[in-house]
Amino acid sequence: MHNTDIMSLNKAELISFFERTGEKPFRAKQVFSWLHKKQALSFDQMSDLPLKLREKLSADFKINSLKTVKKLCSKKDGTTKYLFETYDGSLIESVLMKYRYANAVCISSQAGCRMGCKFCASTLGGLERNLTAGEMLSQIYEIQKDSLLRAGSVVIMGSGEPLDNYDNLIKFLSIINSPDALELGHRHITVSTCGLVDKIYELAEKKLQITLAVSLHAPNDDIRKTIMPIAFKYCIDDLIKAAKFYAEKTKRRVSYEYALIKGTNDSDECAKELALRLKGSLSHVNLIPVNDVKERCFVKSDESRIKKFYEILSSMGIETTIRRKLGSDINAACGQLRRGVKEQTAFEKPKLR
């Protein structure tokens, strides 16, 4: 059991372990609070636990804390990007974004990604491995400790496909919501997916109050297949049907992410087709001018085209916003996160076109 990441155990699992080993259940609550409220990095720090219990925990478990390898702060908007190293040498990136209403932390759910979206840097090196629930939580804890700011919201939009790491995602959501942890309400958490239809249905049945963000990026299968390999497995009709089911089950509006790529998916016809697909559903479209990734040739749409696309959607009754770009000067914007220094360009400034 020594390889078990204790930070990934929810309170019920900890209590069960303590009961099986003859320890009092209240000790489990103490340990859980030390890990997630006080964010202890070692069992030695848990000063109100008996020494023998701390030694026993050290023998049975490990605390998989993250090491900060590098930190960059945007000169434009104060966005901060962190490069973290895990216990086994995997590298992941996370981002702190500062808004007037709250601070948001964007975390990764996997080291790398296997989804292959062609406008995204996170997938360039493929998937290394899933992150544990504890490693997902640790990104938030480390950023809070460094910045001295509390995360008012969390978006799971960093590297990786969260629904491809479903079990660890669900455990993460359970722990972060606990009164003995961050006690962050699910309404302040957004989970992004490129469209794993079966997992969307599974998540919907849990009736959690998280926001589901669907990376759509095209109004039809023909265009979507040119930029998102997942479109060959799940057609857009089935994806939107699943997203609508999620909205019906949770009564939560689904956010559709749409990266505007010049000459690919930004025409008036695309806007009208997208509006017709979403009309009448509990939805919101988030338009994102595609961000620069040096290995890709995609160019963001012109400002006038972005405005026209927005106007068409709005005129057809679709609630739409244009996402404010944060952290682009440090490659921290949407689609720019990587696994870090394994790709030597991870901390280069994007080249102007």
Catalytic residue set? 93, 334
Distance CA 85, CA 284 (A): 35
Residue 271: which of 231, 216, 234 has the closest Cα? 216
Distance CA 169, CA 90 (A): 18
* Tally of residues, the chain: 353
Residue 248: which of 284, 285, 281 has the closest Cα? 281
Query: Strand 103-106 vs strand 91-98: parallel, antiparallel, or unpaired?
Result: antiparallel
Residue 120 is classified by DSSP as -
Distance CA 209, CA 15 (A): 26
Question: In whole angstroms, what separates CA 69 from the centre of its chain?
Answer: 20
Which phi and psi angles does 88 have, rounded to 5°?
A: -105, 10
Residue 281: which of 239, 223, 230, 322 has the closest Cα? 239
